[in-house]
Chains A and B, each alone.
Chain A
Amino acid sequence: MSRSLGSTIRCESHPDALLIEDHRAGDMICSECGLVVGDRCVDVGSEWRTFANDKESKDMSRVGAAEDPTMEGQDLSTTIGRATGSAGFGDNGLPIYRNRHTESAAEKAKRKANREIKEMAERLSADQSIINAAQHIFHTVHKDKLIKGRSNNAVIAACMFIACRQQSVPRTFKEISAVAHTNTTIKDIGRCYKIIRKALVSSQTPSSGISTSSSSDLIERFCSKLNLPKEIKKLALYIVGKVNDCPDLTGKNPNSLAASAIFLACEQIGSLRSAEDIGRICGAAENTIKQTIKLMMPNLAILLPPDVTPSLLISSRINK
């Protein structure tokens, strides 16, 4: 059957009919009369044949993984694999064919940063979406050379911080600094964070959502770490929500506010926790908690919900 180039295949008796593709035979069949109109159609799907030495993977596709945007074309190149069998090794026992080390400093730094971010995420028990976000932020920042003079460790930590915030699971600076490379102070991370944030806000849409941290996000996490019941968590969240109405407590570190709210809630409901325990989990010192509670005491009427009477245990516990 001869066809002119560029003519679409269609059934002669039904030119407007849809053609159904039969994958198994490679045919195009007219849906009206069943006439086989085109044959030997090339299947553009993935290869489905299996070979004997193929690994037992569920996905038999040979296309490979999705392209990683942070690698910028690096993952399209191939490398020489490790030598197996005796033919791969020379007389001296070393492999005959080795990869040439052609990697620029930028790519090395990026590779190292990706590894660091993964390790940090493991320590923070953060999931894959946060890792991807942090790596993407580092890639953006590194590409535009925004943080030229800063130490890479602080930049990586700041990327992690921003990624956690973006995914609505904020980690405090103290937690990030504890998990980051040694000698990365909160001050360094804070400085890098300010620079990166400015750059991200200008380059991306406002929907990247980097808002100020609030204590309420932290309370969920700290309460579950301390194994506190739901009522305490609910009360602590209420207290922290009301903190904005107290003029004495503006500008306090959200860590210490969260810790004192939890302490207050514990006292109210009666489950005794020492300020030390709470402070250790929240990243606030015992004295800080006591100071903040002293500031909260005169405002208990505002802070506690209207149906709760303040417990008298609190003052004795603080002054101990």
Chain B
Amino acid sequence: MALRDLNNNEIENFPHLKFSIHNVVCSFGTSCYLNLRKIALNGLNVENKGDRLFMKLRKPTITATIFSSGKITCAGGKSDDEARIGARRVARQLQKLGFKVKFLDYQVVNVMSTSSVPFVINLSKLAKQYPGDCEFNPELSPFVFIKINSLNTSVNVYSTGKLTIMSSNIDSISKSLDYIYTFLYQSKS
């Protein structure tokens, strides 16, 4: 894919942007109702918040939110493998407590990652030029919020060049970075 800047010259050294994943949030269902009181009293590292419980694992560092309907959300995984392992460990703990737990509908809900672009960006220029869903409210927040609907991703672009990418799956992160790089380069200051 050839990148072109505003004068239609090809940009050499189109860097493949590296990104690091900070948080993977996933959810799954056990197909049985869970007795939150029993889990809170007998489970390990469990915190009670009324209608839900927080179960924290140490390895991998995962916080699971357990609802009495059997739906469980696991947050804090640093990669999709970690998230899956953490989710299965939570399910195993519940199984040991005596519930007839199944591991159903596992799905990665949200992936938060950061990346950076090696140049300073002129945010107001970017906000004007970007052809798509883009919001810039300097009074409220110092970044440009770009939403890429086709890839189900949103990116926060800071003027220092740092990017925060939130997407629903890991594959779309690099695609969205490739997509917005042109626009970021064109708004280089």
Question: Which residues of A are at the interface with B, using a C-beta cutoff of 8 A?
Answer: 172-174, 186, 190, 193-194, 212-213, 244-245, 247, 250-255
User: Is the beta-carbon distance between A251 and B158 smaller than 8 angstroms?
Assistant: yes
Known: A212-B127, A247-B159, A247-B189. A255 touches B120 (CB 8 A): no
Complex interface: chain B residues within 8 A of A212 (CB): 124, 127, 136-138
Known: A250-B159, A251-B159. A213 touches B124 (CB 8 A): no
1/0 per residue B127-165: CB within 8 Å of A?
100000001111110110000000000000011000000
User: Is the beta-carbon distance between A172 and B139 smaller than 8 angstroms?
Assistant: yes
Would you give 6 A-B contacts (Cβ < 8 Å), ordered by A? A193-B137, A213-B138, A245-B189, A247-B122, A254-B138, A255-B139
Tell me the residues in window 110-126 of chain B with beta carbons closer than 8 Å to chain A beta carbons: 120-125
Complex CA gap A304/B135 in Å reads 30
**Considering residues B124, B127, B140, B158, which has the most beta carbons from chain A within 10 angstroms of its beta carbon?**
B140
Nearest 10 pairs between A and B by C-beta?
A251-B142, A250-B159, A190-B140, A251-B159, A247-B189, A247-B120, A250-B123, A173-B139, A251-B123, A212-B136
Complex interface: chain A residues within 8 A of B143 (CB): 251
User: Is the beta-carbon distance between A190 and B138 smaller than 8 angstroms?
Assistant: no
Question: Nearest residue in B to A173 (C-beta to C-beta)?
Answer: B139
The smallest C-beta distance from B188 to any residue of chain A, in angstroms, reads 9
**Considering residues B120, B139, B189, which has the most beta carbons from chain A within 10 angstroms of its beta carbon?**
B139
Complex CA gap A244/B138 in Å reads 13
Contact of B140 among A173, A244, A247, A250 (CB under 8 A): A173
Complex CA gap A254/B142 in Å reads 11
Complex interface: chain A residues within 8 A of B136 (CB): 212
Complex CA gap A251/B121 in Å reads 10
User: Is the beta-carbon distance between A253 and B139 smaller than 8 angstroms?
Assistant: yes
Question: Nearest residue in B to A251 (C-beta to C-beta)?
Answer: B142
The smallest C-beta distance from B145 to any residue of chain A, in angstroms, reads 9
User: Is the beta-carbon distance between A244 and B137 smaller than 8 angstroms?
Assistant: no
Complex CA gap A193/B139 in Å reads 12
User: Is the beta-carbon distance between B123 and A186 smaller than 8 angstroms?
Assistant: no
User: Is the beta-carbon distance between A190 and B123 smaller than 8 angstroms?
Assistant: no
Complex CA gap A149/B138 in Å reads 26
